[in-house]
A = this chain, B = another copy of it.
Amino acid sequence: MEQRRADAIAEELEELIFDGTFSDGDRLDEVRLAERFRVSRTPLREALQRLARSGLVELIPRRGAFVRQPGPVELMEMFEVMAEVEAVCGRLAAVRISDSALADLHDANQKCQAAVDCQNSETYYIENERFHKIIYKQSGNSFLETETGNLHRRLKPFRRQQLRLRGRMAQSMAEHRSILEALESGDPEAAAVALRGHVAIQGEKFHSLMVNLKKASA
């Protein structure tokens, strides 16, 4: 059983928030949620605190827990930081990466390409993630690796929609290749620039998505 109770509940709640069951600003009633998950308030409160830690809910003392989806501005900020942090990973990895990791990157990239050819966005998504996680690890800094992974995870639900944009996967592949080249030639600045651009463009794509969404709803 362990403490997994709170952990499992936190994950389920996360899903419910992403699914839109609870939307921004909603108050999360402890009692009702406790009934829903068939647990007492104690583990549920711990789950809420876990979510507060990752920024998904805001805990206001004596008032309750409120769903706090990051707004467009904050999302852009997070994408900007993601781009910079990945650039850092790239710069460090360029001089620290192992040969076997380079081989793994090639492998992930080839599978990405195969996914593009098959129009299989699910596989592409998975291999793309593997590609990036290899770079995090090869930064040779496990603290950086963990923190970058956390931010990556937080942005996951927002990055996913972009794959549907026409031509995005092909463009992304080209960027991957230049990243790989920079890493292979051991050029820190080139790797940093390539990765920064690669991730930053996701933020911009996301931005235009938001704008179009607004236009559509107006």
Residues of A near any B CB (own CB < 8 A): 2-4, 42, 45-46, 49-50, 53, 59, 61-62, 74, 77-78, 80-81, 84-85, 88, 91-92, 141-144, 147
Contact = CB atoms under 8 A, between A and B. Distances in A.
Contacts of A62: 2-3
A144 B81 contact: yes
Given A46-B49, A49-B46, A84-B88, A61 B4 contact: yes
Contacts of A3: 59, 61-62
A92 to B, nearest CB: 8
A147 B81 contact: yes
A199 to B, nearest CB: 13
A86 to B, nearest CB: 11
Given A2-B62, A4-B61, A85-B85, 16 more contacts: A2-B61, A3-B62, A42-B42, A46-B46, A49-B49, A53-B53, A74-B142, A77-B141, A77-B144, A78-B143, A80-B92, A84-B88, A84-B91, A84-B92, A84-B144, A85-B88
Nearest to A142: B77
8 contacts: A42-B42, A46-B49, A77-B142, A77-B143, A78-B143, A80-B92, A81-B143, A81-B147
Contacts of A84: 88, 91-92, 144
A80 B144 contact: yes
A171 to B, nearest CB: 25
A141 B85 CA distance: 14
A74 B147 CA distance: 13
A88 B87 CA distance: 10
Contacts of A46: 45-46, 49
A53 B61 CA distance: 18
Nearest to A7: B61
A144 B78 CA distance: 8
A147 B74 CA distance: 13
A92 B76 CA distance: 14
